[in-house]
Amino acid sequence: MPFDYSLDFKSIDFRQNPEIYQVGRGEQGVLLVEPYKSEILPYWRFKTPDIARESSEKIYSMFLDYLEQDDFVGADMARKFLQMGYIRSRRYANHKSGRKYNPNSTSSDNKKEILPYDTDPIKAESAAIFKAKWIEAKNNDKYRQMLANHQLLTAM
């Protein structure tokens, strides 16, 4: 089921209403779903490998804590932050400005021009650190079972 951006995110407490939560694709909703965004976001950093390691370990620890509390939405949000850490640091590893597309490009077929790669090995290492924790989270047996249960619940 696609992520529903039409919800009134400012007034929904997803800890109290987990049945409303939709997983969506990738990191959809990661900066909308409360109270989890406010709990996890302060720890999300990737500027250097040391910072990325500390951040990813903290967020993964939170992921495990949410699982221990049988809080699927919290666990999924932590997983999304790990995924976002990988994706964002990979973006900066490939493009120093963080922009993938040329903002001034115009083409007749509506395809955006991808800027040339300017590889940053420091950000690439940060990306690899986040990717390892993200893969560990998404392959966690309890998480996978809770995901399947949540999808069954919300499909009804």
Could you tell me the mean pLDDT of each successive run of 10 residues in the chain, 156 residues long?
87 95 91 97 96 98 98 98 96 81 71 80 95 98 97 81
pLDDT at 109: 63
Task: Read off φ and ψ for residue 118, nearest 5 degrees.
Answer: -135, 80
pLDDT at 100: 80
pTM of the complete model: 0.89
Contact status, residue 41 vs residue 57, Cβ threshold 8 Å: no
Say how many CA atoms lie within 13 Å of 131 toward its Cβ: 11
Tokens 């406010």 correspond to 38
